[in-house]
């Protein structure tokens, strides 16, 4: 591949309204251009100024950027801070009585907590962790429902310098076990169960199952938040109730002052090959990126009611639930449930009832709600909204326009944000008071983010031509390494193929004549199902682990709601099944993958064949499988295919 052909040609432009411009933090193109120019001309001074402006330092830094050990960059390295202090203590003077979190449970119960109350809860829980001899540098797994307590657990870890690794509550025991093993965690924080759509989903039993697997002896404590009171098995040696842990604990906990480069968290993301990657983020650089991006992209105001719908198990929930809103003193919504329970108007009712001003969600959610019709949102008062946001995957233009016209009532700008687990915060996104919007485009890089598009050799491509998206300069919020595997970090994100100098995002993109960026998809085989990135290798490995399966390959197939569904091509050890037998085995394999990885990894389709399409050298022809999966016409050269007869087999889905 030299370039990638773009098939999207979007001409519509939506400019910010005069009303929005008059209130925007950045509304003057000259001010915006000045920021970009400052970053271009004095890169280190630019980021140094922002770090002093946004972060409260225990000990100020003297060195902004150390690039001596490329690509393991250090930012503000001799500075000392505490992230929890920056999120909570700094708000006690002016925002002590301000509501920090409005929590709405699955069943509709409301809990409001002020900054003062949140600070007490975090301190008590942090002291509880210290009483278990958990200290700076220890790794803690968090496997929690979406709740105030999940944020408290993350903030408490940050307060004592422990490194948290949050695992999404939908992942299986096997996935949880892998992360416990890789981090060497000494404690797990969980709940008896979580509530979603009126149903209880057990969590503690999943932890028990994970810990029963091999190589988890590092775990000394399991802390359980009592969400529902359902019966759970109890290990008297290691298990302790959350409420018992905090009983009698002081409501103040002295922060652990750490280096700017001290790891704040490890968050696992799927790779195209091998096991999930433990993305390690720093304290200061990560926090700075999250804060600055929230201020700029969400046009944050003190009176905002901010709602990011992401679970804290993903990077979006880290940056724009657990950290940036608190660091800026915001009031935010946290919602435990799903958009369609008890009815399809749940999201719109939350916006109405709590007077939400900024609403940030995934295209998957938007597309699923579109199917329910434009009349439904009209039954609710959405007049409080002033800004909408999209995250997780590119949003198709028609969904963008629906979101703009129906939900935003043609007055709310949409910030379509491109970023990654690895970048920690927004990289390409509109600053809404300045940048005219194009449906489907994430628009322009933020000031200080040096983005480009190159071909396979690392050379720039012309505007309008697709290629590899890269970031040319280090930036503070960039992941520092892959936990325990710096070599993999370097090979994955700074490959020698494109010169080894630039951060390779793993996405293809094109830039139009106005300098707007358009994300075209992954350049590897990572799938994007409902905004969740899943590696093909993980799913294939899970399938092959089943005793019936000899070989498997998975690809993504576009889906109007989920973005992509997983299509699995499977070769059994026995003969290729047909009819009801095939359906029975397919259901068994779907459930198997759900157990091994989690429900989100279930294949949407399973297709059986006598074998997989391979070159005579034994390489699976994945591009061919993608074409077959999408029902496309095969135009590729199949002369090297070992057994062309199987192509007709693989066109037929069992389920």
Alpha-carbon gap, residue 608 to 649, rounded angstroms? 7
Alpha-carbon gap, residue 100 to 254, rounded angstroms? 21
What would the pLDDT profile of 12-52 be if each residue is shown by its tens digit?
Answer: 899 999 999 999 999 888 889 999 999 999 999 999 999 99
Q: Which tokens hold the place of 555?
A: 């690809």
- The contacts of residue 565 (CB under 8 Å, 6+ apart) are 529, 556, 557, 559, 603, 604, 605
Q: For residue 224, list its beta bridge partners.
A: 190, 241
pLDDT score of 653: 79
Residue 526: pLDDT above 70?
no
Phi, psi torsion values for 33, nearest 5 degrees: -65, -35
Q: Which tokens hold the place of 333?
A: 């919504």
- Look at strands 331-335 and 358-361 and give their pairing: unpaired
Q: Distance of CA 301 to CAs 71, 295, 329, 389, Å?
A: 36, 8, 10, 15
Q: Which residue has the tokens 């910030």?
A: 415
**DSSP calls for 554-597:** EEEEEETTTEEEEEEEEEESSPPP-HHHHHHHHHHHHHHHHHHT
Does the pTM surpass 0.85? The reply is yes
pLDDT score of 335: 98
Which stretch of DSSP H or E encloses residue 21? helix 18-23
pLDDT score of 454: 92
* Nearest alpha carbon to residue 596 among 204, 172, 225: 172
In this prediction, residues 504-516 reach a mean pLDDT of 92
In this prediction, residues 344-373 reach a mean pLDDT of 92
246 vs 509 pLDDT, higher one = 246
Q: For residue 451, list its beta bridge partners.
A: 471
Phi, psi torsion values for 235, nearest 5 degrees: -105, 105
pLDDT score of 414: 98
Q: Which residue has the tokens 């989903």?
A: 201
Q: Which tokens hold the place of 326?
A: 């608190």
In this prediction, residues 494-504 reach a mean pLDDT of 91
Range from 118-127, 175-184, 471-480, 493-502 carrying the lowest mean pLDDT: 493-502
Residue 589: pLDDT above 50?
yes
Alpha-carbon gap, residue 188 to 181, rounded angstroms? 12
Q: What's the maximum distance between 2 C-alpha atoms anywhere in the chain?
A: 74
Q: Distance of CA 356 to CAs 225, 229, 303, 360, 381, Å?
A: 28, 31, 10, 11, 11
What would the pLDDT profile of 147-171 be if each residue is shown by its tens digit?
Answer: 999 999 999 999 999 999 999 998 8
User: How many of the other CB atoms lie within 10 Å of CB of 12?
Assistant: 12
């Amino acid at each position: 591949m030299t370039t990638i052909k773009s098939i999207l040609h979007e001409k519509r432009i939506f400019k910010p309204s005069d009303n929005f411009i008059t209130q925007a933090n950045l509304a003057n193109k000259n001010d915006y251009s000045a920021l970009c120019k400052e970053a271009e001309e004095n890169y280190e001074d630019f980021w140094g100024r922002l770090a002093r402006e946004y972060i409260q330092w225990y000990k100020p830094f003297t060195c902004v950027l150390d690039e001596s050990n490329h690509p393991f960059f250090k930012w503000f390295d001799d500075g000392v801070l505490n992230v929890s202090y920056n999120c909570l203590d700094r708000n006690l003077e002016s925002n002590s009585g301000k509501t920090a979190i409005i929590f709405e449970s699955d069943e509709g119960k409301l809990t409001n907590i002020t900054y003062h109350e949140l600070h007490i809860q975090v301190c008590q829980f942090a002291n509880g962790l210290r009483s278990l001899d958990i200290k700076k540098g220890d790794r803690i797994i968090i496997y929690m429902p979406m709740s105030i307590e999940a944020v408290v657990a993350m903030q408490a870890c940050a307060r004592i310098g422990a490194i948290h690794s949050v695992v999404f509550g939908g992942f299986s025991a096997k996935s949880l076990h892998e992360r416990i093993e890789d981090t060497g965690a000494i404690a797990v924080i969980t709940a008896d169960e979580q509530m979603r759509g009126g149903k209880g989903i057990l969590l503690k039993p999943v932890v028990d199952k994970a810990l029963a697997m091999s190589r988890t002896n590092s775990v000394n404590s399991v802390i359980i938040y009592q969400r529902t009171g359902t019966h759970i098995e109890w290990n008297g040696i290691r298990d302790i109730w959350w409420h018992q842990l905090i009983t009698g604990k002081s409501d103040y906990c002295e922060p652990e002052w750490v280096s700017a480069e001290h790891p704040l968290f490890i968050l696992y993301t799927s790779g195209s090959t091998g096991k999930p990657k433990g993305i390690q983020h720093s304290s200061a650089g990560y926090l700075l990126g999250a804060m600055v991006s929230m201020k700029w992209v969400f046009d944050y105001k003190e009176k905002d009611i901010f709602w990011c719908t992401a679970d804290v198990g993903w990077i979006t929930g880290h940056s724009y639930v657990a950290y940036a809103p608190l660091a800026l003193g915001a009031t935010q919504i946290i919602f435990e449930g799903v958009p369609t329970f008890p009815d399809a108007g749940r999201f719109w009712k939350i916006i109405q009832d709590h007077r939400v001003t900024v609403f940030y969600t995934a295209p998957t959610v938007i597309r699923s709600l579109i199917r329910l019709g434009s009349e439904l949102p009209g039954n609710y008062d959405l007049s409080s909204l002033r800004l909408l946001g999209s995250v997780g995957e590119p949003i198709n233009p028609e969904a963008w326009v629906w979101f703009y016209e129906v939900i935003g009532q043609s007055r709310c700008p949409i910030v379509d944000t491109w970023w990654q687990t690895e970048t920690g915060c927004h990289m390409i996104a509109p600053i809404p008071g300045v940048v005219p919007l194009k449906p489907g485009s994430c628009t322009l890089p933020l000031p200080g983010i040096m983005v480009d598009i190159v071909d396979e050799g690392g050379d720039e491509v012309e505007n309008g031509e697709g290629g590899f998206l890269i970031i040319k300069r280090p930036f503070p919020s960039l992941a520092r390494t892959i936990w325990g595997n710096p070599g993999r970090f370097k090979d994955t994100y700074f490959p020698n193929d494109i010169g080894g100098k630039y951060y390779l995002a793993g996405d293809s993109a094109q830039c139009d004549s106005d300098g707007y960026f358009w994300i075209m998809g992954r350049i590897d085989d990572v799938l994007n199902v409902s905004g969740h990135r899943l590696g093909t290798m993980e799913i294939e490995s899970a399938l092959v682990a089943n005793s019936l399966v000899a070989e498997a390959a998975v690809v993504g197939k576009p889906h109007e709601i989920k973005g992509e569904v997983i299509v699995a091509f499977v070769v059994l050890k026995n003969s290729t099944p047909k009819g009801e037998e095939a359906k029975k085995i397919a259901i068994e394999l779907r459930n198997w993958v759900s157990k091994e990885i989690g429900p989100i990894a279930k294949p949407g389709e399973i297709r059986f064949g006598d074998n997989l399409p391979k070159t005579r050298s034994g390489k699976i022809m994945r591009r061919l499988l993608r074409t077959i999966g999408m029902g496309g016409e095969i135009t590729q050269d199949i002369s090297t295919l070992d057994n062309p007869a199987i192509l007709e087999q693989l066109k037929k889905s069992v389920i």
